[in-house]
Amino acid sequence: MPIWLYQVSPVVAGFVVFVIIETLALFGLMLARRFLIQRLTYNEGVHEAVSGTVQAIGVFYGITVGLIAAGVWSTNSNASDLVSKEAASIGSLYRDVSGYPSPLRDELRAGLRDYTVFIINEAWPAQKMGRGQTLDRGVRIMDEFQTKLYTFNPSTSGQSALHSETLTAYNRLLEYRRLRIDAVGSGLSSVMWAVIWIGAAISIGVAYFYKIPDWKLHAILIALMGGFLAMVVFMIIVNDKPFFGYVSISTDAYKLILERLIDVTK
């Protein structure tokens, strides 16, 4: 899909998709009625054959697009869950390092705050522009945090237990961070989009072969089919890239951790 279609508001994107599909569908109907239908020989059983073909193609295409839409929605939901888990892991790790002695405690908490602010102010805008995987400042922040964390040598059993839990929380944060970064580039492949568009063209095109004397009635039926397909395609577009474009996952989970935990206890 064109990149700019993800970067405009849903209203504009939906209108563009609707207009394009309807225009192509009705233009194809005009060509078919003018140059093709009148050259074909129809008898009493033709409409039944056309209806059977339309129904068969509609069923298979509906199942295919339905599975694609369900997969896209699942990907979007999983991405949202990843964001919540990463934000929660930042909060959990922040509470753990708060039990370390000073000045290490202050340095570790400052590092987590820098990382959270980086996600909100730098990583997210870059992700929305499709450049989220090119930033390396987050890696540097986490490397510095890890270096400081690994220098701590527990002197009591309580500190040993706390340090073990902190390392577990830190590794969990790294896991969620990596999964989020990998998910930034997720989306339907060009092959899947080809299946969607070619299938839509076939589904609408087979309905051209109905021999309906009133061209206005024929156009209305084709327009209704095109409108329904436009809604399905628009729904797939909106949910296809959860971190990219105008409609994307927000940073509210990170802002909540920053405002309700980090900035309150710093």
Model pLDDT, residue 82: 93
| Predicted model pTM | 0.82
Model pLDDT, residue 127: 87
Model pLDDT, residue 76: 87
Domain boundaries, the chain: 4-265
The angle that helices 10-31 and 215-240 make with each other, rounded to 10 degrees, is 140
The tokens for 99 are: 């039990």
Model pLDDT, residue 255: 94
As a whole number of angstroms, the distance between CA 174 and CA 241 comes to 22
DSSP 8-class letter at 101: P
The angle that helices 190-205 and 10-31 make with each other, rounded to 10 degrees, is 50
The amino acid occupying position 99 is G
Counting Cα atoms < 13 Å in the Cβ hemisphere of 30 gives 6
128 CB-contact burial (10 Å; exposed 0-12 / middle 13-18 / buried 19+): buried
Model pLDDT, residue 132: 65
- Phi and psi dihedrals of 129, rounded to 5? -100, 5
As a whole number of angstroms, the distance between CA 247 and CA 80 comes to 13
Assign 248 to helix, strand or coil.
coil
How far is the first Cα of the chain from the last one, in angstroms, to the nearest whole number?
45
190 CB-contact burial (10 Å; exposed 0-12 / middle 13-18 / buried 19+): exposed
Q: How far is CA 227 from the centre of its chain?
A: 23
Assign 244 to helix, strand or coil.
coil
Residues of the chain short of pLDDT 70, as ranges, are 1, 132-133, 265-266
Model pLDDT, residue 266: 56
Model pLDDT, residue 145: 94
